[in-house]
């Protein structure tokens, strides 16, 4: 939760505005234009079922921005 708050306050991500994001397999947060150089949304198989979900993954380079 703290990391998401930090990434949001630094302008790297924003809360997904879709009220059905989780149900639709979308990530809870999306990268901003500034954040796209440090992460990307990937497709991943959900644990326990055959559903594909989207997940925001950060590159190791984001650590330089956080410190």
* pLDDT number for residue 67: 84
Alpha-carbon span 34 to 13, nearest angstrom: 8
> What tokens were used for 24?
């639709």
Instruction: Indicate the number of domains in the chain.
Output: 1
> What tokens were used for 45?
């198989």
Arithmetic mean of pLDDT over the chain: 93
- By residue count, the chain amounts to 67
Task: Summarize pLDDT for 10-37 with one digit per residue, the tens.
Answer: 999 999 999 999 888 999 999 999 999 9
Structural domain boundaries enclosing 51:
2-66
């Amino acid at each position: 939760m703290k990391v998401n708050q930090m990434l949001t306050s630094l302008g790297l991500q924003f809360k997904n505005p879709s009220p059905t994001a989780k149900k639709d397999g979308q990530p809870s947060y999306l990268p901003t234009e500034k954040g796209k150089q440090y992460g990307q949304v990937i497709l991943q198989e959900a644990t326990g079922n055959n559903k594909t979900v989207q997940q925001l993954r950060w590159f190791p380079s984001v650590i330089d921005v956080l410190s």
